[in-house]
Amino acid sequence: MIQNLLKNFILLFFIFSLAEPVLSNNNPVLAKYSKEIKEIKSILINKYNVDHKYASEVLNSIKFRQKTLDSMSNAVERKATWERYRSIFITKSRVNAGIKYHKKNHKILKEIENKYGIPSEVIVAFLGVETNYGKGTGKVKVLDSLGTLALKHPRRSKFFKAQLIYFILLTYDNNLNYQNLYGSYAGAMGAPQFMPESYIKLGVDYNKDGKVDLWNDKYDIYASIANYLIRKGWQKSRNIYSNIKIKGSYEDEIFKNGDVKTVPITDSKLKKIIIKKELEAGKKYLILLSKKNKKYKLGYKNFKVIMSYNPSTFYAMVVSQLSERIAEENEIF
Ligand SMILES: [Ca+2]
């Protein structure tokens, strides 16, 4: 009896080990997406030379998270007013913590600022908004969030499919344990919350220890943010935005199609509608924050560069304003 069982067991084991890993057998929840998974696997293997077995193993480990899909549709940028959004990010405690963080890490920050030309307070402001200065880097398994979004997001699955592929490649090339990497619900990683594509393409191994560590290494973290901004077109020693005053009769006009957006505007149009002010050179944008309270600013190229990090007008404005508060170094008590 026992011998028979053992025989059967060995036989079964033999059959399964011979068979090519079939996702639908191992993970029934994923079976519905076998076509997409096959396509992802083929890109990993053929385009990026990832080992066949490794690709199958990782993809087969994806666990769907409904919460990830829910969080995507409830992101604060999509619902809050400017006043509400600002009150979440520009708080006494976040400003004070930023000033302290800036002082504490001054030496490394200045080294990076001198090398890349990105103001240290801007780097710190990104960290403040993204992860409360590196404290909250996310608790969701990156594989599960990206797997869920790549296979199930109704509109952006193409983008997330690419991110999933880069994530698997990142773990493969750097010998990282994919079961052990945690990030935001949307798959952003480390203190600066880089998506896998940015991590691979723009991450910097500044301390030259052979890996880009965006969780623990401050040199790598600061240099990667700076490099990101430079590559997106940051203009050194230029402003991010400024305050302007638009003539009353034009205020309604600029808001006629709503608020929460950043729209290009020509110098000639600007000259017509603002109350006298010298104009800086370069491209300009009207930053429309609140139609109700008639809040707007004038943005420059660097504002758009910040928006490349997160394509939200509110996001870019809180990063800018937090950086100003940190630069002032006046703690609020
Ligand atoms: Ca490193």
Question: What's the gap in Å between 131 CA and the centre of ligand 1?
Answer: 20
Question: What's the gap in Å between 208 CA and the centre of ligand 1?
Answer: 5
Question: What's the gap in Å between 171 CA and the centre of ligand 1?
Answer: 15
Contact (CB, 8 A) for 54 and 232: no
Question: What's the gap in Å between 204 CA and the centre of ligand 1?
Answer: 7
Average pLDDT across the chain, whole number: 91
Question: What's the gap in Å between 273 CA and the centre of ligand 1?
Answer: 49
pLDDT of residue 174: 87
pTM of the model: 0.88
Question: What's the gap in Å between 210 CA and the centre of ligand 1?
Answer: 6
Contact (CB, 8 A) for 138 and 183: yes
Question: What's the gap in Å between 222 CA and the centre of ligand 1?
Answer: 11
Question: What's the gap in Å between 122 CA and the centre of ligand 1?
Answer: 21
Question: What's the gap in Å between 214 CA and the centre of ligand 1?
Answer: 8
Question: Rounded CA gap, 127 and 102, in Å?
Answer: 11
pLDDT of residue 277: 75
pLDDT of residue 330: 74
Question: What's the gap in Å between 261 CA and the centre of ligand 1?
Answer: 37
Question: What's the gap in Å between 318 CA and the centre of ligand 1?
Answer: 29
**Residues with a beta carbon under 5 angstroms from ion ligand 1:** 205, 207, 209, 217, 220
Spell out the residues 6+ positions from residue 24 whose beta carbon is closer than 8 angstroms to its own: 30, 31, 34
Question: What's the gap in Å between 65 CA and the centre of ligand 1?
Answer: 31
| Phi, psi dihedrals of residue 64, rounded to the nearest 5° | -70, 145
Question: Rounded CA gap, 305 and 328, in Å?
Answer: 22
Question: Rounded CA gap, 271 and 329, in Å?
Answer: 34
pLDDT of residue 72: 84
Per-residue pLDDT of the chain (333 residues; tens, 9 = 90+): 445 544 554 444 444 444 444 444 457 778 899 999 999 999 999 999 999 999 999 999 999 999 999 988 877 666 789 999 999 999 999 999 999 999 999 999 999 999 999 999 999 999 999 999 999 999 999 999 999 999 999 889 999 999 999 999 999 998 899 999 999 999 999 999 999 999 999 999 999 999 999 999 999 999 999 999 999 999 999 999 999 999 988 999 999 999 999 999 999 999 999 998 788 999 999 999 999 999 999 999 999 999 999 999 999 999 999 999 999 987 765
Question: What's the gap in Å between 186 CA and the centre of ligand 1?
Answer: 24
Question: What's the gap in Å between 203 CA and the centre of ligand 1?
Answer: 9
pLDDT of residue 198: 97
Task: Output the CA angle 289-302-157, nearest 5 degrees.
Answer: 75
Selection from 292, 294, 297, 291 nearest residue 317 by Cα: 297
Question: What's the gap in Å between 212 CA and the centre of ligand 1?
Answer: 4
